[in-house]
Chains A and B, each alone.
Chain A
Amino acid sequence: MQLIKDFKTGLWKENPIFRLVIGMCPTLAVTNTMVNGLAMGLATAFVLLASEIVISTIKKLIPGNVRIPSYILIIATFVTFVDYFMKAYYPPIAASLSLFVPLIVVNCLILGRQEAFASRNSVHRSIADALGMGIGFTWALLLLSAIRELLGMGSLFGFQVLGNWYPPMIIMVLPAGAFITLGILIAIMNQISNITTEDTHCH
């Protein structure tokens, strides 16, 4: 039961992007196409899962004073692995994400979860947390990039879905479009959770 609760936390209640508003650098930079958003979400989720497993396993062996450098070292190892792996097997995606892959190291979502969760909880609960947060991050990136790609280029996953009648809103694929979309989405999410919490108070 606890595991399911840990898993669900990241999906909605503490969604990294819409509720915690962390990890904004990749969120704003690479969500201009759905392929990029999905690849970034999955890469981050993998690094999060792998490092939460390792850190929750060896948390007792790491002296408190050097825990942050140790976490960074572990995270950086997995990020470099992902970087090489994408370059070798998915070169077009690696090229379009370019320097944002190595930058996953400094995504505060990952370091934040190690400090707030993996270093204090069991391996099982850390896996549940990492899966929840990773999927939460991925779906948020996907939603953001779907809106931006559809409005900015008239396509989804690179397939043209809107015909020639639609004039693409170029601002949506530029950084400004990321801020506008994210702001509106967060407002909607806040509204939805306001309504749902009011409901629970009534009962």
Chain B
Amino acid sequence: MKNQSIKMIIALTILGLISAVLLAYVYQWTLPIITEQNLQEEEKAVFAVLPGAEDYKKINKDGYIFYEGFDKSGARVGVATMLEGGGFQGMITLMVGTDPESGKIYGIRVLQHQETPGLGANITGENYQRNFVDKPFGDYQVVKRPVDQQEEPYKVEAISGATISSEKVSNIVEEAVESIKREFGGSK
């Protein structure tokens, strides 16, 4: 009986050790690639939401991550922030680019999401993201009808069949805009 348990312990220990060594190896092999990829994604998103930016500086402040974008001459073109918030199914990570001086949004990009394919996943589409281009800072209201951005700047047109996803994204944008306003001052 005792012999039996010793055998069991030995077998499980050896298996555990082998698997730990293998996984440590795989982890070290893939980690740099994964980090590099996330960095590239981040960089691409920053340049996408800050038009004219050639270079950027990453700032961590009060739990938020800000990216100050600069053009060729070194002048600041705008501030972006990466923010995560709850979506319909999982977390949504957004990059929101703004111009804090004039208080308007340049544009948004979805970095990560787990919304329903064919419905909520349309938040990555141009049709939805266009809602936020050139929007003034403020509270946004999601409506289920076509919106003329010139006349109703605080309205966001919902994706049909995915009102919740549309609302969640605009909530994250609101928070992003709020944090940029706080840290970089809306009016000068």
Interface of B is mostly: helix
Q: Which of B15, B37, B117 contacts A74 (CB 8 A)?
A: B15
Docked complex: B78-115 residues within 8 A CB-CB of A? 90, 112, 114
| Least Cβ–Cβ distance between A183 and chain B, in angstroms | 21
How far apart sit A33 and B118, CA to CA, in the bound complex (Å)? 9
Q: Which of B19, B90, B112, B118 contacts A76 (CB 8 A)?
A: B19
Interface of A is mostly: helix
B-facing mask of A45-80, CB < 8 A → 1, else 0?
000000000000000011101100110011011001
In the complex, residue of chain B having the shortest beta-carbon distance to the beta carbon of A169: B118
**Chain A contacts for B4, CB-based, 8 A:** 63, 65
Which segment of B6-14, B56-64, B65-73 sits at the interface?
A: B6-14
Q: Are A69 and B12 within 8 A (Cβ)?
A: yes
Interface size class of A (residues with CB under 8 A): 20 to 34
Q: Are B23 and A152 within 8 A (Cβ)?
A: no
| Least Cβ–Cβ distance between A112 and chain B, in angstroms | 20
**Chain B contacts for A89, CB-based, 8 A:** 33
Q: Are A66 and B34 within 8 A (Cβ)?
A: no
Decide if B187 is an interface residue (CB 8 Å cutoff). Answer: no
| Least Cβ–Cβ distance between B119 and chain A, in angstroms | 6
Q: A61-B11, A62-B11, A98-B90 are in contact. Are A32 and B116 (CB under 8 A)?
A: yes
How far apart sit A62 and B8, CA to CA, in the bound complex (Å)? 8
How far apart sit A175 and B117, CA to CA, in the bound complex (Å)? 11
B residues with a Cβ closer than 8 A to A are 4, 7-8, 11-12, 15-16, 19, 22-23, 26-27, 29-30, 33-34, 37, 41, 90, 112, 114, 116-119, 161
